[in-house]
Structure 1
Amino acid sequence: MEVKLHDIGEGMTEAVVLTYLVQKGDYVKADQPLVEVQTDKMVAEIPAPAEGIVQDILVREGETIAVGTTILTLQTSAVVQPNPASSSNAAESFRLPSANEETGGSVLTKNIRRVLATPYTRKIAREHGVNLEQIAGTGPGGRITDEDVYRFIEAKQTKSASSAAALEAAPKKENSSASATSVLPFCGRRKQIAKKMAQSLYTIPHCTHFEEVDVTELIRFREELKQHDIHISATAFFIKALSLSLKQFPIFNARLDEEREEIHLYAEHHIGIAVDTEDGLIVPVIRHVERKSLREIHEEAKQLTKRAQENKLSVSEITGSTFTISNVGPLGGSIGATPIINYPEVALMAFHKTKKRPMVMENDEIAVRSMMNISMSFDHRVADGATAVAFTNYFVRLIENPKRMLMELV
């Protein structure tokens, strides 16, 4: 039986084979994870479609393969179950039927240590070049924990510290030509991000509109809510204001179907949140924002961000967005950008650093206000600049008057 890479995400065409969780000759049960693969959005496990014995592994770890490629094969006929009496949590004993077993020939018995660890623990080990088979697990049933990996890394670094110091003190040969100090693999999520960004940039004629927003009243209003033990992030207000704006300007909550020459407008507001992780950018999605309260949006955004940083998002949590935001303000130092649209969406809005600046008010008096810049990139095939300006103006009015925004929800 062939085990192939199937489509585990919207628009997925390829993935990188990261780590095999089994070896050739292993007995596996149905739905047992066989291999971890990296798509452009997540790390996923490919399970066994049936019980059997791993017959052959056809793809090397680190290789990028297309959907439909056979990763490994299983022998599912005449499977001999592993002997429960001789198996343990750290090792499994199983029997592989030989060609002459039916006539009383010998039976090949093989003992393989099965490493017990979560996908996230395996990810930590991969990033630090650690072989999990060298670690003794302290978790339940001998499972290797994150702490086990970090202890192993620390011990390894301590052991090599003296060698590194001696190497640093050794005389160095002069070299007039420049050489790379290190080499980073261009694969996995970074490669998939690059591919999607190039697809978006070369497919969509981007146009970026810049605007500034006075968030002074929003900051004050959030402080008022905190006095009543109500904690709502600024991002939650941005997302809700965007949903209200998209209701007025649905052209930015759409997709262009070039083949049919149609623009599809969506009533549902599924807002993607760009999250920076160790493995690169990932976009979890808050669904049906138009139906949710500020408190619900706040809690869901917080949980999705945490799951994204821990690489624990499911396929349903990273697909189907209709509009994306990027809040780079908390990172600091950003006053503007030309963000790339999350293809095949029509627009993306980025929120930049908030700074206090002297501003001339309507009565010509100068006051210190908290100002934030926003950048909105949109598909110029679908919308024009005037519509983008009207859209952002509506959004700005809601943010600058947050209590008015609440009236819009009544």
Structure 2
Amino acid sequence: MLEIKLHDIGEGMTEGEVIHYLVKVGDTVTTDQPLVEVQTDKMVAELTSPCAGIVKEIRIEVGETVKVGTSLLSIETNEVLAIGQKSQTETKQSIEENANPTIKAGEKSSASIPFHRVLAAPYTRKIARDNNINIEDVHASDPSGRITEDDIFRFLEGKKFTIEPIADRKPAVADQAIPDEIPFRGIRKKIAEKMTKSLFTIPHVTHFDEVNMTNLVKLREQLKTAGESVSVPAFLIKALVISLKDFPIFNAELDEENNRILLKKNYHIGIATNTDNGLLVPVVHDADKKSIKEINEDVKALTAKAIAGKLQPFEMQNSTFTVSNVGPLGSTGATPIINYPETGLIAFHKTKKQPIVNEHDEIVIGHIMTLSFVFDHRVADGATAVAFTNRFASLIEQPHKLMMEMV
């Protein structure tokens, strides 16, 4: 009998919540077949079967949070079953051939078809389950065959519903409508726990500022003409890393237990990303050692993987500072919550064209971006925060300075 235990899916993981079982007692499973979905503090992960066999017992109920090392279910492996199955092979084959005359000797029946796993993110599967939809009945619009939330919703819209005759309808009773419910668990619950801990542990202070993006916009247009397409966030992250090196107090972590502030030597920048599975924070590791082009490629790849639900645990670990690029969503300002236990988080908001006065006292049209920088007031003071954002703004407003700071 093989015990399937909750193992450490990511660095520092100590517990996980059982979200959904993909098998039931008595099911025959194959090697690498997904068995159960588990919610960690960062992601929803599928635990797969290390071998073929039969599910004999499910030990933990859905919704329970258990420690790493806890047995979730048990499987009777094929090694145990092999002795009994070997003597029955010829008899079984004969029965199958008699029951299925069209199957010739040596051919495989439909019962022997390998396990097929529909491509879909755990959250997409959850939507299907909540609406009593067999996800195998849903057509994937993506060429890769991956089923998305939109596919589920389109399937829902296509279903036929019977309409109750008017004469049979009962009059509505005021103030007795049953509210809709959304389960508060999984990633949503983990986000809530982490944000609550951050807000109630760290005294947040938010500093607002504006950055003139006009010269950076021109530089990007020049690069695009030359065949190089680089996103704005890549420039922002490079300028941010340079500024963090000048003000290391913001690339730090407060160790209250030992009464010390740890100044991190690595510059791992978290990218707050809005996905169908909730807010995820993939990390550009060692951003200080990468060129703007390399940062651009990392951001694009990590964002795509986050949206597709394909991030690996190591791709969401060890961030030292987090950025939130909410400008494309139309945001003009916010007071973000720090990604605990970091010291700061910077949010980039909408860039707008507006009249500005240039160095010749002329009124011209410029591109102005607002930002909000939130920091831990236990670790740093307001004056330092202003100096930090001033340094960042100077690098963006005069992007040629970035060239002087390249390693």
Mapping of 1:10-409 within 5 angstroms?
Answer: 10-28=11-29, 32-48=33-49, 53-75=54-76, 79-81=80-82, 116-118=116-118, 120=120, 123-129=123-129, 135=136, 145-146=145-146, 157-161=157-161, 163=162, 165-166=163-164, 171=169, 173-177=171-175, 179-332=177-330, 334-409=331-406
Once residues 404 and 67 of structure 2 are traced to their aligned partners in structure 1, the CA distance between those partners, rounded to angstroms, is 50
Letter in 2 for 1:403: H
User: How far apart, CA to CA, are the structure 2 residues paired with 1:167 and 1:382?
Assistant: 67
Equivalent position SS for 2:160: helix
Moved more, 118-127 or 313-322: 118-127
Quickly say closer, same or farther: Cα 1:213–1:150, change in 2 above 3 A.
closer
Counterpart Cα distance in 1 of 2:209 and 2:116: 52
Once the two structures are superposed, residues 49-86 of structure 1 have per-residue CA deviations (whole angstroms, 9 ceiling, x without a partner) of 56654321022334444444331123469611377897
Task: Report if the CA contact (8 A) 2:214-2:368 is conserved.
Answer: yes
Aligned residues with identical type, % of pairs: 49
State the Cα deviation string for residues 210-230 of structure 1 (Å, max 9, x = none).
111010111111001001011
1:148 is displaced (CA, Å) by 11
Q: State the TM-score, normalizing by the size of structure 2.
A: 0.82
Q: Tell whether the 8 Å contact from 1:14 to 1:66 is kept in structure 2 after alignment.
A: yes
What amino acid is aligned across from residue 120 of structure 2 in structure 1?
A: Y
Q: Structure 1 residues 134 and 127, CA, compared in 2 at 3 Å: closer, same or farther? A: closer
CA distance in structure 2 between the aligned counterparts of 1:296 and 1:207, rounded to whole angstroms: 32
Q: Which moved more, 1:378-387 or 1:284-293?
A: 378-387
| AA of the residue aligned to 2:158 | T
In structure 2, the partner of 1:7 is 8
Q: Secondary structure at the match of 1:352?
A: strand
Q: SS at 1:160's partner residue? A: coil
What is the number of residues matched between the two proteins? Answer: 380
5+ residue gaps, structure 1: 88-110
1:346–1:378 contact (8 Å) kept in structure 2? yes
| Maintained 8 Å contact 2:268/2:320 | yes
- Name whichever of 167-176 and 375-384 sits farther off: 167-176
Q: CA deviation at 1:242?
A: 0.5
- CA deviation after TM superposition for structure 1 residue 12, in Å: 3.5
Q: Structure 2: 5+ residue runs without aligned partners?
A: 94-110
Query: Any conservation in 2 of the 1:53–1:79 contact (CA below 8 Å)?
Result: no
Deviation, structure 1 residue 349: 0.3
* C-alpha distance in 2 between matches for 1:120 and 1:321: 27
Aligned residue type for 1:208 = T
**RMSD (Å), alpha carbons:** 3.3
Name the CA shift for 1:272/1:155 in 2 (closer, same or farther; >3 Å): closer
Q: Structure 2 CA distance, aligned partners of 1:341 and 1:331?
A: 20
Aligned residue identity for 1:40: D
